[in-house]
Structure 1
């Protein structure tokens, strides 16, 4: 025990005053005259012993009163365990409250967020009331970037709720240091972190550069059981959904808890109507997969939702997604000479396709940008303008199907295909072009007969019936006019293993290259049973697979739009919520940023469906879900934190707090325990004891 003002201990000499009074006053005797001397002796004997005890008790009370009164002025205290004093006079106290969604987990009967809020309120009562407090949350709101007094911070605590934004502790520290540099007149400050220290979002704590002059106080607020169930991902079995047909949705769920979850009911909703349900059993710390079959009744955007019950973490019990049912596939058909009926005949009979056919001599090549698939049929040469447009289209994610002309200018084809990564394009050496021109007869050598397709190739999935898969299909004949190196994926081959139709990936797009023209003089492929399903599959794969859902944490989102105007402004809307996100156009893509990147994250209030509108017309419906990292409840416990920050004397790690014990622990470690109040109470007690002894005895 130490004394704040030890000089007051000289006041203990005042103890001599009651002792002196006792010695020189209580021992004086008085003469009492009485007729019956024998009776007087008996009274004197009994009164004398009682009086002596009374005087001793009064002396003790007076002496102890003086002692404890002097000690109260000397202000004794038990020193703190921390050798570095808390600097609240010139330093700033910055408190970070983690209000991410994972703080919805419960400690006892209260949310972690509520427990942390209560602990901050208590620590504010322990620290001296100065105007140099700062409270920071994950929202990084502008109003939290100033220092304030205790009362204002307590009012602010009542307004804090869960946020859909998570921050790494490195980002939090940078934000706090920025404020400390601005407002602190001392290099020594106090930094508090009240968090569940979630491993998936906290970042690499060992790499955080902590200022050695500041004191850091890490306060884990964690639930005893960290289990949770969430949807990790979902995907469609086919590239796109058709109305009035059975579609398949795959859902992957993860159980982060150690206990097995048996027969968890999971429901699928389309446009708020339950269309399917299933149950799943998830082992501890494991994942499982469900398959839902569903049918949509209409074309266009369909709002989907996966729902289940899991407690206490409920923010991720629903997963939102959007399906664009039967999207229109825009096809641009470019040909030379007289148009052959085969390609328009394939795509003209289905409402899902929108085909425009043009002779290359009068085609508007600007329409290439707004197409999903460009079919180049029998062109003798590819001029520079067409090459540039096609190359740009493919690099932006478009698909091109090329049937070369019989008298193809190999140099122009080779130049464009070479720029797209397809090498070794040359005229075929297997059969001269003139050998079968204007005839309907075909060479049946292995160089001209196609081999059966490889059914293991995902391209042919769902194209053929089971009987076809057993090898009963008759293959077409073709006379190749061009050939190329064995690059890409050969979808169809000749029996000599040379490719007839290959698929190439060029940056974001695809190129499909055929070895023969669409001409019965060179191949019976256009009238073969394979022609229609192969072209259907090429067209369906050319439609960009639209994302089913997005996360709030994505810095930007790119969506293909048909509007080519650069001055058009898109809005993001949900009910009464409406913003104009930062946006730009790159080719046929709209790229926009989510609010938490450029503005306050609280502007995106909740998961659900958002409309992307242009001139008050809804162009797209987007589904947003909370970041799935927040659903992974594994956290750094106190022992792990102590190990990470071992050797750093300016870092204190507290055990996972329960209600009511953190403030006392902090005070004992860093402020010490003042005893002057107890001394003052003791002095008053002994003063009252003296009065009672004098009056009552």
Structure 2
């Protein structure tokens, strides 16, 4: 318990007054002997005990009256945090949940954030004079936005209507941590922290243990109130765009490409009348398609087709409508529309007389799956070179490199295999976003490969080779297992028919064993295994690029994988090409909250981050970035972390137009709408370990806040007891016939 006016407890010392009167105020009289009194002596002795008992009760009632008066003047409360007495100044901290689920419409035309703003203004109106206000925004990070003068409530009133949702997901721990810091900096005798939120379960569950501790810490010094902005029982109808990908081809100029849009119903009811549209570079490329009857939790693929005319980075935008949560109804992806893709095939056995024994023959055929007379005009342009002919300067003109049974240099004869300067440049090529595919064979000697390309050298092998090739027979070959295909990966389609059937048709008689354990295995990933668990296709991300290793040969000497006996090689080659070329896209696609990283060609000078315009803004806001720093490989690196809003960002040099520089598509964090369940009071009590004060945002918010403050002070109850004690004392004194 605490007291708003503890000095008033000194008045309790007045309890000595009735005690003094009781013992020292006596009626004065003289003793007169009277024989008749002897007869009354016995009766007086009988009544004296009754009179003393009545006087003791009267004394206790009078002492109680004085004690209750002192207690009422001291204004008792629950504790130090809850001493929110009326009339006392309050340091109020208003924490707003700005995750995109707060943009949900509960059916009356108001979003949950609109309700939060109205409720917050009601809280400000209820504050006593000389109170202060601080406003904190909270998604999965916190930001104290003012006002500049915390005692200027008018500034806070003007600031609150400007708040908007972000693309972040719910996490209340950062907001409460910032609120605790803000509350501690206050000087008023009373501190109050309000969370304005739809109270989505995700915000409490992401860091539940730490959040529970922080709430206990807050409650020790502040009054903590949850303001529910939305209806606990109303279910929100929502669909989200989770992805959009090109199907069957690599985006290139003068082509019409089908894109598959994944739409998921994250609500609790069937979504009907959902409309899906596709835009490229801000222009609609196909009429809107309507989808009916998406069941809760169901993901529906929608195929939309767009014409690609211009080469370079293009923004592909999907928009949906028809639900009550617009925050996840837009999905942007930066795609690189290519005029041509140039592939270098480094062949260790370029047998021009018998091309069927050369891996480059099969790979080149799979890269250009068109009629022979059309290969020259096809957008994929492969070129073949012998391993002894390659040099570092060749890599500047290619997007993808294949090493096909290419021998590595040996200590005895460094010129017998891939040149050292070529391997060094190849490492830089991959790290800067290039793609590398390595096929095995009899010239892939394990010791030389591990020393030159593996963990002992350039670090380009997903896993080191662990020994001589494992042999099988044609009657009992190694067979890839479709059920082993890693998901998610660019080969995920091989887990399902018809590609899974094609993969089962592959037979392998020789296979490189790989060391999937040990220091050199860190970062490697097995994408496909054989039926007996041996790695078949593996990969490793190196810098901004990626390496894919096939543990058998890519000609027909070890396997039928590249030949006509298998229908798997062409789709494998196309999926690999699409995946590796997609990594080298200026800018890129990110999720809200993730940093944007760019390597400017010139490190000198200043750069700005151009953020997407918010509601009511025509142009994006420019934010100054720190200077470029040397990153991996000595490359200049710029990093932007202010990415809470979803939309299109650019990093541009100072003084350059907003349209220059790489474009980044930042999409909302879909964890916020993956589960739209909100927490009840019982849920909050279980998760936080105490029953919190929860009020509903609405017309009565101001009155509810005032009532919450009144409940924290016991003065009314003490005054009521004082009245009852005073009435009891008066009645008892009258019964006893006492005048004072």
Q: TM-score, normalised by structure 2?
A: 0.61
Q: Which residue of 1 aligns with 2:401?
A: 374
Structure 1 CA distance, aligned partners of 2:710 and 2:386? 87
- Structure 2 distance, partners of 1:662, 1:399, is 62
Q: Does 1:281 align with 2:301?
A: no
The structure-2 alpha-carbon separation of the partners of 1:79 and 1:240, relative to structure 1 and needing over 3 Å to count, comes to: farther
In the alignment, does 2:227 pair up with 1:215? no
- Summarize deviations over 1:442-474 as a string: whole Å, max 9, x none: xxx949x99999899896979xx9999799x9x
Equivalent position SS for 1:124:
helix
Q: Distance in 2 between matches of 1:85 and 1:521?
A: 84
CA distance in 2, matches of 1:524, 1:655: 68
The 5 Å alignment of 1:461-540 reads: 484=513, 502-507=536-541, 509-513=546-550, 538-540=576-578
Is the 8 Å Cα contact of residues 227 and 255 (structure 1) preserved in structure 2?
Answer: no
Helix, strand or coil for the counterpart of 2:143?
coil
- Report the counterpart of residue 665 of structure 2 in structure 1: 623
The alpha-carbon deviation at position 292 of structure 1 amounts to 1.0
Write the mapping of 1:579-590 to structure 2, written as runs, cut at 5 A.
Answer: 579=623, 581=625, 585-586=631-632
In 2, Cα distance between the equivalents of 1:137 and 1:529?
61
Aligned to 2:238: 229
Name which of 672, 684, 693 aligns with 1:652: 693
- SS of residue in 2 equivalent to 1:349: helix
Q: Label 1:78 to 1:313 Cα distance change in 2 as closer, same or farther (>3 A).
A: farther
Question: Please, which runs of 5 or more residues in structure 2 have no aligned partner?
Answer: 12-69, 368-374, 408-415, 456-460, 517-524, 613-617, 718-740
Match status 1:201 vs 2:203:
yes
> Within the alignment, does 1:556 sit opposite 2:599 as a pair?
no
Residue in 1 that maps onto 2:392: 365
Structure 2 CA distance for partners of 1:592 and 1:207, relative to 1, 3 Å: farther
Deviation at 1:355, TM superposition (A): 4.9
Partner of 2:55: none
Q: Deviations over 1:578-616 (max 9, x none)?
A: 44655665459997544436xxx5xx5xx4444555776
CA displacement at 1:220 relative to structure 2: 1.8
Please, what is the CA RMSD of the aligned residues?
A: 5.4
C-alpha distance after superposition, 1:373-419 (max 9, x if no partner):
22235444345555555566667775434467877766423434553
* 2:707 is aligned with 1:665: yes
1:255 aligns with 2:266: yes
Shift of 1:227: 0.8
C-alpha contact (below 8 Å) 2:343/2:382 kept by paired residues? yes
Residue in 1 that maps onto 2:275: 265
1:129 is displaced (CA, Å) by: 1.3
Shift of 1:171: 0.9
Alpha-carbon distance between aligned partners in 2 of 1:157 and 1:172, rounded to the nearest angstrom:
16
* Residue equivalent to 2:132: 132
Q: Following the alignment from structure 1 to structure 2, what is the Cα–Cα distance between the partners of residues 647 and 521?
A: 70
CA-CA distance at 1:146 after TM superposition: 5.1
CA contact (8 A) 1:365 1:386 kept: yes
1:542 to 580, 585, 599: 580
Question: Against the structure 1 CA distance between its residues 641 and 81, is the aligned structure 2 distance closer, same or farther, given a 3 Å change threshold?
Answer: farther
Question: Residue by residue, what CA displacement relative to the aligned partner does 1:135-185 show, whole Å, maximum 9, x if unpaired?
Answer: 323472553465223333333334434444556322112212222333437
Partner of 1:19: none
Could you tell me which runs of 5 or more consecutive residues in structure 1 were left unpaired when the two chains were aligned: 8-73, 431-444, 676-697
On the 8 A contact 1:239/1:545 being kept in 2, the answer is: no
Alpha-carbon deviation of 1:513?
A: 4.5
CA–CA separation in structure 2 for the residues paired with 1:197 and 1:168: 10
Which entry has the higher C-alpha Rg, 1 or 2? 1
Once residues 639 and 532 of structure 1 are traced to their aligned partners in structure 2, the CA distance between those partners, rounded to angstroms, is 57
Shift in alpha-carbon separation, 1:542–1:122, aligned structure 2, 3 A: closer
Partner of 1:596: 642
Q: Does the 8 A contact of 1:320 with 1:549 survive in 2? A: no
Counterpart CA distance in 2 for 1:533 and 1:196 is: 47
What is the alpha-carbon distance in structure 1 between the residues aligned to residue 559 and residue 104 of structure 2?
Answer: 67
Q: Distance in 2 between matches of 1:492 and 1:192?
A: 54
CA distance in 2, matches of 1:460, 1:255: 24
Q: 1:280 to 1:382 in 2, by over 3 A?
A: same
Q: Distance in 2 between matches of 1:673 and 1:161?
A: 41
Q: 1:190 aligns with which of 192, 197, 206?
A: 192
CA distance in 1, matches of 2:192, 2:261: 50
Where does residue 380 of structure 2 map in the other structure?
353
1:294 has 2:305 as partner: yes
Q: CA deviation at 1:196?
A: 1.9
Structure 1 residue 491: deviation in Å? 8.7
Question: Given that residues 390 and 418 in structure 2 are in contact (C-alpha distance below 8 angstroms), is that contact kept between their aligned partners in structure 1?
Answer: no
1:332 aligned partner: 344
Shift of 1:424: 3.2
Q: Distance in 2 between matches of 1:492 and 1:110?
A: 53
1:568–1:253 CA distance, 2 compared to 1 (3 A): farther
Q: What per-residue deviation string (whole Å, max 9, x for no partner) do you get for residues 470-499 of structure 1? A: 99x9x99x998x954698979999xx9999
Q: In structure 2, what is the Cα distance between the partners aligned to 1:146 and 1:361? A: 73
Deviation at 1:122, TM superposition (A): 2.9
Counterpart in the other structure of 2:66: none
What is the aligned length?
567
Q: CA–CA distance in 2 between the matches of 1:569 and 1:394?
A: 28
| Change beyond 3 A, Cα 1:570–1:426 | farther
